[in-house]
Structure 1
Amino acid sequence: MSDTNVNLAELIGSRICHDLISPIGAITNGLELLEMVGAVQGPEMELISGSVGSAGARIRFFRVAFGSAGDQPLGRAEVTELLNDVERAGRVRLNWHLTEAVPRNQVKLAFLAMMCCESAMPFGGDVTIENTGDSWTVSGMADKLNLDNDLWKNLPSGRFANSVKPAQVQFALLPETAASMGRRIAAETTSTRVVIRF
């Protein structure tokens, strides 16, 4: 994948997320109005509301992970609020161990790395994101991991023996996006832990 292809993928990601977030927001507002007037109540409303909230959180997360990103800063409060919303809809606990604002393009790399870790934890676990100086570490821990050895072994090079499936697109994008920013990916795995550094 060339830099041009990475940029095109980012533009497509931004466009899709931009076009979807508005109707999701409108549905959320409509549900709030229905709740205020007491028009609809019960488990059905909770199911719809929870599903819409989950969809909105994932779209906002994908907008950072897959969309175009510059060096404008993202603050801790904004990132942790987003990750808390995403965490509510999944099985993985997300721990953002940064206190300062960081450039959006670096958060993008962290989110792609988080998605790689998350893919190895179908039964849940913890993903921790840390930054020391200019170095990032994203680590995932779980009692039981499900590792695709081809993806993890070849993540640093971005050249995989098998075709990358849609659910694995983060593995293809992470090394290419990092390279476009002058960074290299390192990855290591054990039976209970996966670590990505850049």
Structure 2
Amino acid sequence: MGASDVNLAELIGSRICHDLISPIGAITNGLELLEMVGAVQGPEMELISGSVGSAGARIRFFRVAFGSAGDQPLGRSEVVELLKDLERASRVRITWNLSEPVPRNQVKLAFLAIMCCESAMPFGGEVEIATQGSAWTVIGTADKLNLDTGLWKGVTTGQFANKLSPAQVQFALLPDTASAMGRRVASETTATQVKLRF
């Protein structure tokens, strides 16, 4: 996959997320109106509201992770709010240790790295994102990790021995997107921790 393929993937991601976020938002607004008038209450309503909220959070996250991204800044509050919404439907807790706004394309790399970490944590865990100068570190920690060593070896080069599944696409996009930005991905894994640097 070359830089032009990355750009095409970003455009596809942006288009899909853009087209889905409006109807999800409309459903959310409709549910809020139903709650206000007391038309529907009970566990069914909670299930629907929770599912729609989860879908909306994932789409907003995917819009950054898979969509086209320039160097316009994203502020801490916007990123943290997005990640908190994402956490509600996840077993993974995410800590964003950055206080200053950062370029959207760098947040995109961090979000792809978060997805890589999540894939190794089927039973939950914690992900921490930090920077030192221009270098980013994303660390995932869990009592039990499910590591696919081929994926974690390939994430540094973008070359994989086996064909990737749709659930693993972040492992291919992270090194290619980083390369297009003049960065390289490094990874380390232990029995309880995964670490990505770029």
The TM-score with structure 1 as length reference comes to: 1.00
Query: Which one-letter code corresponds to 2:152 in the other structure?
Result: W
Paired with 1:24 and 1:148, the residues of 2 have a C-alpha distance of: 33
Query: Which one-letter code corresponds to 1:167 in the other structure?
Result: A
Query: Which one-letter code corresponds to 1:65 in the other structure?
Result: A
The within-5 A match list for 1:180-195 is 180-195=180-195
Instruction: Report the CA distance between 1:133 and its aligned residue.
Output: 1.0
Paired with 1:63 and 1:129, the residues of 2 have a C-alpha distance of: 19
Q: Give the corresponding residue for 2:142.
A: 142
Q: Give the corresponding residue for 2:172.
A: 172
Instruction: Report the CA distance between 1:154 and its aligned residue.
Output: 1.6
Paired with 1:137 and 1:170, the residues of 2 have a C-alpha distance of: 16
Q: Give the corresponding residue for 1:98.
A: 98
How many residues align? The count is 198
Residues 75-107 of structure 1, C-alpha deviations (whole Å, 9 max, x = no match): 000000000000010000000000000000000
Tell me the SS of whatever aligns to 1:137: strand
Paired with 2:93 and 2:2, the residues of 1 have a C-alpha distance of: 33
Structure 2 residues without counterparts, runs of 5 or longer: none
Tell me the SS of whatever aligns to 2:188: strand
Paired with 1:44 and 1:171, the residues of 2 have a C-alpha distance of: 37
Instruction: Report the CA distance between 1:132 and its aligned residue.
Output: 1.2
Paired with 1:153 and 1:80, the residues of 2 have a C-alpha distance of: 29
Paired with 1:124 and 1:162, the residues of 2 have a C-alpha distance of: 26
Tell me the SS of whatever aligns to 1:126: strand
Paired with 2:193 and 2:31, the residues of 1 have a C-alpha distance of: 40
Q: Give the corresponding residue for 1:128.
A: 128
Among all aligned residue pairs of Structure 1 and Structure 2, give the percentage whose two residues are the same amino acid.
78
Tell me the SS of whatever aligns to 2:10: helix
Instruction: Report the CA distance between 1:155 and its aligned residue.
Output: 1.1
Query: Which one-letter code corresponds to 2:180 in the other structure?
Result: S
Tell me the SS of whatever aligns to 2:196: strand
Structure 1 residues without counterparts, runs of 5 or longer: none
Tell me the SS of whatever aligns to 1:187: strand
Q: Give the corresponding residue for 1:82.
A: 82
Tell me the SS of whatever aligns to 1:84: helix
Paired with 1:44 and 1:156, the residues of 2 have a C-alpha distance of: 45
Query: Which one-letter code corresponds to 1:192 in the other structure?
Result: T
